[in-house]
Structure 1
């Protein structure tokens, strides 16, 4: 099954449109779920293509982000927002397409769930490393709040 999600990309000097092609299938040998993401960035000088394969959409999404970050690009969507990260439960249930918006010291709740490809005014642009560090800080803040 293949489906598509449009996304906005930003750099310090320009913005661009992109489109993710999301293919979900099973490993032909082991039968494990596999997600292949392909990001096509549409630029005036020609399209650029980046792909990643991973068991989860969020994992593949992070791999693509690591490819485009050195080029100065940031994805303007919840999956790339500083304060958004999937729980293990939602990685299993939704292949990581849904994730929680987090607030320090406050456990995430159902109303905090967002689609990683959606966008909003509250998206905080970040790198994969910054997002992972925020997630670890958030986990520690939950233990400190007890």
Structure 2
């Protein structure tokens, strides 16, 4: 990785609170995320922004029945178009049905999240579409 690299520990879960994993990310022309699990297994992904890269990682980890407990994996979080275009989706919006988002509803994509709020990428996309319908 390079000079814009960030590193953080993040909880993982298989339905119950689990151990931590090391997550490293960088954003340049593309976003790159690498996760090193407690057993030394490494999963990585590159995509146009951090959210897309995180979706790829979440699908890989789901095959091992593992969830990343971060805001970017919450059912009620999704990046705005501006966040994706200008910030490579380093921030995501916390979405409330029937309410438009505000700047105060932006949180760090890798901020810690309660495992009970985490879902699959498909569930998250469905929740996002439901939210869009609720504000239309």
Unaligned stretches of 5+ in structure 2? none
In 2, distance between residues paired with 1:24 and 1:102? 25
1:94 to 2:87 alignment: yes
Partner of 1:85: 78
Partner of 1:24: 27
Change (3 A) 1:88 1:73: same
Partner of 1:2: 5
Partner of 1:28: none
Among 43, 48, 54, the alignment partner of 1:50 is 43
Task: For residues 61-92 of structure 1, give each alpha carbon's deviation from its aligned partner in whole angstroms, at most 9, with x where no partner exists.
Answer: 11100101121111111111110000101111
Which of the two has higher C-alpha Rg?
1
Greater shift in the superposed pair: 74-83 or 5-14: 5-14
- Aligned-residue Cα RMSD (Å) equals 1.6
Shift, 1:13, TM fit: 5.7
Partner SS state of residue 51, structure 2:
helix
In 2, distance between residues paired with 1:40 and 1:109? 34
TM-score normalised by the chain length of structure 1: 0.85
Shift, 1:131, TM fit: 0.5
Q: Stretches of 4+ moved more than 4 A in 1?
A: 120-123
Aligned 8 A contact 1:77 1:123 in 2: no
In 2, distance between residues paired with 1:23 and 1:116? 13
Aligned 8 A contact 1:38 1:49 in 2: yes
Aligned 8 A contact 1:11 1:72 in 2: yes
Unaligned stretches of 5+ in structure 1? 26-32
